[in-house]
Chain A
Amino acid sequence: MPFVRDCEVLAHQEVAADHYRITLAAPEIAKQARPGMFCMIEVGTGFYPFLRRPFSVERIHADGISFLYKVEGEGTRLLSRFRAGDTVNIQGPLGRPFPVEAGMRRYFLVAGGIGVAPFPALAEAIIAVGGTPEVLLAARTEHLLIGARDFSRMGCRVVLATDDGSCGMKGTAVDLLKQDLGTGEGSVVYACGPMAMLRAAHETCLAAGVVCWASLEAHMACGDGVCMRCVVPANRETEAERMARVCREGPVFDSRDINWTACP
């Protein structure tokens, strides 16, 4: 059951150029939130922007939640102006979380750029069931590799890559996955990042026979399955289900359910 609540901003820091972490006091939402779920944040109180913005939950605490985001447009620019002590209205938690099963041999978290956003909470959940998350973190350049140290401190294995080779391997998160996945036996993959990266992760996992849980990003108007804005082509027989809602059927999908060839 989602809530709409005015929440106090507990902390708000710039973690890298144009990348922020906002922490909100939201005990009811925190109680129901699971890794991979998202909230709709009201970034402005006037009529522009008219719509809320969706953000994956980064971490879940007893009394609050945090979000990691990148300033991309007008909405995120406005959000970045909130200060500790301000009030922000959020709606959530929404969407389907990452399934976390105990007893897997390896848990790969494949993150491209700001796609790292939902993974701290997921890593905690995997550790809680006795697993060791292996975070394959990639970004354009070194200073955009966000949270690497936090993952290490949590006890994750962290492998880094950058497009420009400024840190770690020169390549993408999926290149790291290809290097590490091996036969894939007993492995599960969680992926979040740009569509091209998700598609590559899907193809790699499909070839290895490994399940890939992809968290998709989409523009949304409502977040509640009503507006039909955030749809992606799905591998479904019926006309009514051919377009799946990222907000409702996702944002976390079994990558085999997405019709990647029909995606823009």
Chain B
Amino acid sequence: MADLRVNIGGLFMKNPVTVASGTFGYGQEYDEYFDIAQLGAVTVKSLTLQPRAGNRPPRLAETPAGLLNAIGLQNVGIEAYLRAKLPFLRKKGCTIIANIYGYVPDDYAELARRLESEQGADAIEVNLSCPNVHDARSVGGCKLVAQQPEAVLKYTRVIRSATRLPLFIKLSPNVADIVEPCLAAQEGGADGLSLINTLLGMEIDVKTRKPVLSNLVGGLSGPAIRPVALKMVWDAARAVKIPIIGMGGICNARDAVAFLLVGASAVAVGSASFRRPDTALQVIKGLEDYLEEHGFSRVTELVGALKTE
């Protein structure tokens, strides 16, 4: 059997498959379908210092080969996570990546400190790229931190100084050049990158002549964005030295292999879990089969093994 283990930026994973933040709750929901401890890691929904109720409905719409969401980070907050959600994940023996969101750098630093001091995570993923917590009515919307490389650098430095846990920066595809924020995160001391968050999008109900989302715009995910994500991971992987968790529309092992080939060291299954809760588990199994079938002894051999000639 091929060796699926990976070590990405100091985070050991028994296989390179995790789930995308916000598509897997806090793990317990999908443990009713399969043993979630089989995942390389469980990435939990974005945590904020205070609980958030999220945006008004409608918050999510189905689109061709994907979905558009503007949930607005509804979450229980760090306190309730540590008290009520974490014990289950720990008891299961899951490797945990905690995704965090803040309004200013100090929010992130405090979240990171608390997660480290209370053993609330094995790694931290920093959401600098949520498209759904800003007022979309202003022209051009509010700029995301991930759209400003100098801000990415600043935030990453502050959070880096607050924790020794492996630190992943999750960036936005809504930029002209993905390499710039990636280099900024690397310079700021990140151990890795998570690429990509959702693509900003909009959908209109022409009967009512209104946007389908109460937030007007949202983030697009699902197989519709996979080619965009692959290209961005490929661009980033050739420019940075730190490992990348690749994500964007992964539905099966073939998709996962494609992300590894363009340079991702691990992958995350996102919206596809909504269709089939055990998609990530099937990706792990399919990855094993692919490695065996193609004569690889270690999954790491696939990373960046793209043939461009």
Contact = CB atoms under 8 A, between A and B. Distances in A.
Interface of A: 1-2, 4, 42, 47-52, 91, 219, 221-222, 224-229, 231-232, 238-240, 242-243, 248, 264
Contact of B64 (A48, A222, A224, A264): A48
In this complex, the interface size class of chain B, counting residues with CB under 8 Å from chain A, is 35 or more
Counting chain B CB atoms within 10 Å of each CB, the highest count among A50, A219, A232 belongs to: A50
A48 B76 CA distance: 32
8 contacts: A47-B222, A50-B64, A50-B66, A219-B58, A222-B274, A227-B71, A239-B53, A240-B74
B271 A243 contact: no
Contacts of A221: 60, 62, 67, 271, 274
Interface in B128-171: none
3 A-B pairs with least C-beta separation: A240-B51, A229-B60, A47-B65
Contacts of A48: 64-65
Interface stretch (B28-36, B89-97, B189-197, B229-237): B28-36
Summarize A's interface: helix, strand, loop or mixed.
loop
A42 to B, nearest CB: 7
Contact of A240 (B33, B77, B223, B224): B77
B38 interface: no
B99 interface: no
B24 interface: yes
Nearest to B224: A47
Interface string B41-53: 0000000001111
Contacts of A52: 274-275
B274 A226 contact: yes
B65 to A, nearest CB: 4
Contacts of B105: none
Interface of B: 23-25, 29-30, 32-33, 50-54, 56-60, 62-67, 69, 71, 74-77, 80, 222-224, 271, 273-278
A51 B275 contact: yes
A248 B30 CA distance: 13
A52 B276 CA distance: 9
B60 to A, nearest CB: 4
Given A50-B275, A51-B62, A226-B24, A239 B52 contact: yes
A68 B247 CA distance: 38
A228 B45 CA distance: 11
A231 B54 contact: yes
B80 A240 contact: yes
A226 B271 contact: no
Contact of A243 (B33, B53, B275, B276): B53
Contacts of A242: 53
Nearest to A231: B57
Nearest to A263: B57
A228 B54 contact: yes
A228 B29 contact: no
Contacts of A1: 32
A250 to B, nearest CB: 14
A47 B64 contact: yes
A238 B63 CA distance: 33
A203 to B, nearest CB: 22
B53 A240 contact: yes
A225 to B, nearest CB: 5
A199 to B, nearest CB: 16
Contacts of A229: 57-60, 69, 71
A50 B276 contact: no
Contacts of A42: 275
Contact of B62 (A4, A49, A222, A243): A49
A219 B274 CA distance: 13
Contacts of A231: 54, 57, 59, 74
Contacts of B23: 226-227
B57 A264 contact: yes
